[in-house]
Amino acid sequence: MLEKALSGSKTYYTLVLGLLVLIGIGFLFYLKQLDFGLGVTGMNRDVTWGFYIAQFTFLVGVAASAVMLVLPYYLHDHKEFGKMTVLGEFLAVSAVLMCLLFIIVDLGQPQRLLNVILYPTPQSMLFWDMIVLNGYLFLNIIIGWNVLSAEKEGVPPEKWLKPLIYLSIPFAVSIHTVTAFLYSGLPGRGFWLTAVLAPKFLASAFAAGPAFLILLSFILRKFTNFDVGKKPIQTLAMIVCYATIASLFLFFCEIFVTFYSQIPEHMDHKLYLFFGLDGKGALVPWMWTSLLMLISAAVLLVIPSGRKNEYVLGLACIFVFFGSWIDKGLGLISGGFIPNPLHEVNEYIPTVPEVLISLGVYAIGFLVLTILFKVVVGVKEEVRG
């Protein structure tokens, strides 16, 4: 099937070439980082996780969101998702791949990575994150590829795939839960020390991931003759709508607990993010943009005529995707480290090399996504004849 990725239109080759250039640039800067150390990034003694770990966290959500297609299709026999499910699984593959790469580029001593397996430490949440992320990656590769092969051959999928498909559902939930547990179990980090962190992660993931899938379907329809159809998109739009509202509700719960209890250690991080602290507030405009984007998206999507209009739906999906990206990809990590345990405010701003390395990782993910989607479109075209 992979041969379908080898021949394509001029646009396809241009896209692949562009991604390869971005990968090359990112790789060169990564070599620089390997040589000099993580000092090429903007991270400091207080903000010890930055852009890389934030992207990792955001993308775990995108990966987990495949379950919003898999669950209705396989557990509830929701047939209209049939054409899209494999897209969700392949999106998960590329997203998890980016997650793993973002962890690797964040390590100070990447050549010692296998120490995590040589000295397995179950009390560390990072150990479990490694297990569920790799498990989820392989599950989705195996399931997606075999289901698509069966479709190509015109036969029903192999029977042994069923248990793997069912297993992938709790795995999807677990990857984002364990990722939230990385943060929410740390004493003395008031911003993350909340039981709603994992549910909030899941809610925003189930909003941002399907929103991205809707946008991808629009792109596929425009550039190929593969159309998933109106109905599955409308169902996904409903999922995006309620997941966005759920994540805003959980955010509101956090705001209430923090500001009604008035415990300074919990308030200060949110004050820093939304109003600035000690005269420093690099993220203030971003956080308000994110909040406004998510609220307007929820309003646009909850109105039936808005959701049914594809332009409005597209705009709302862009809002949800970038609103969640700012929330998790910028605010979540910095916000937890500022102010620091001694209540000092030292800000973090990513550097150019750091952003270019991140772009390189995103380009690898999008290259894998492009190739996998190309195969899907090719197979669907062949089957249709």
Partner 1 sequence: MENSRRKFLKTAGYSVLGVAAGSMLIGITPRSATTAEDSSGGPKYKSRDEALKAERWGLVIDTRKITSRINRSMQRACHREHNVPDFVRKLGSKQHEIKWIWPTPFKNAFIEQDLQYISDHLKRTEIPVLCNHCNHPPCVRVCPTQATFKRESDGLVLMDYHRCIGCRFCMAGCPYGARSFNYRDPREAIEEINPDFTLRTKGVVEKCNFCAERLARGESPACVEASNGALTYGDLEDASSDIRKLLAEYHAITRKAELGTLPSVFYII
302 C-beta neighbours (distance < 10 Å), count: 15
Q: Dihedral (C-alpha) 282, 288, 289, 293: value to the nearest 10 degrees?
A: 150
CB of 364 vs partner 1, minimal distance in Å: 21
DSSP string, 83-119: TTHHHHHHHHHHHHHHHHHHHHHH-SSGGGTTHHHHS
In the chain, what is the straight-line distance between the N-terminal and C-terminal CA atoms, in Å? 16
DSSP string, 47-77: --S-HHHHHHHHHHHHHHTTHHHHIIIIIS-
- Quote the radius of gyration of the chain (alpha carbons, Å): 21
Residue 232 structure tokens: 């599955």
Q: Which stretch binds partner 1 (CB under 8 A): 101-109, 163-171, 244-252, 285-293?
A: 101-109
119 sits near partner 1 (criterion: CB under 8 A):
yes
Q: Which stretch binds partner 1 (CB under 8 A): 125-133, 166-174, 357-365, 373-381?
A: 125-133
Closest to partner 1 by CB, 195 or 342: 342
Closest to partner 1 by CB, 2 or 263: 263
CB of 342 vs partner 1, minimal distance in Å: 4
Site residues for partner 1, 252-271, by CB under 8 A, read: 265
Closest to partner 1 by CB, 108 or 279: 108
Burial code of 74-112, b = ≥16 C-beta within 10 A, e = fewer? beeeeebbbbbbbbbbbbbbbbbbbbebbbebbeeeeee
Inter-axis angle of helices 310-326 and 51-64, to 10 degrees?
A: 140
Could you tell me if 12 and 20 are in contact, meaning their C-beta atoms sit under 8 angstroms apart? no
Site residues for partner 1, 55-94, by CB under 8 A, read: none
CB of 336 vs partner 1, minimal distance in Å: 8
Among 154, 163, 188, 385, binds partner 1 (CB under 8 A): 188
Site residues for partner 1, 143-172, by CB under 8 A, read: none
Q: Mask of contacts with partner 1, 316-355, x by CB under 8 A?
A: --------------------xx--xxxxx-x---------
183 sits near partner 1 (criterion: CB under 8 A):
yes
CB of 186 vs partner 1, minimal distance in Å: 5
Number of residues engaging partner 1 in binding (CB under 8 A)? 46
105 sits near partner 1 (criterion: CB under 8 A):
no
CB of 40 vs partner 1, minimal distance in Å: 9
Closest to partner 1 by CB, 52 or 212: 52
Could you tell me if 57 and 328 are in contact, meaning their C-beta atoms sit under 8 angstroms apart? yes
Inter-axis angle of helices 284-302 and 230-261, to 10 degrees?
A: 130
Q: Which residues bind partner 1 (CB under 8 A)?
A: 36-39, 41, 43-46, 48-49, 103, 106-110, 112-113, 115-116, 118-119, 121, 123-127, 130, 182-183, 185-189, 265, 336-337, 340-344, 346
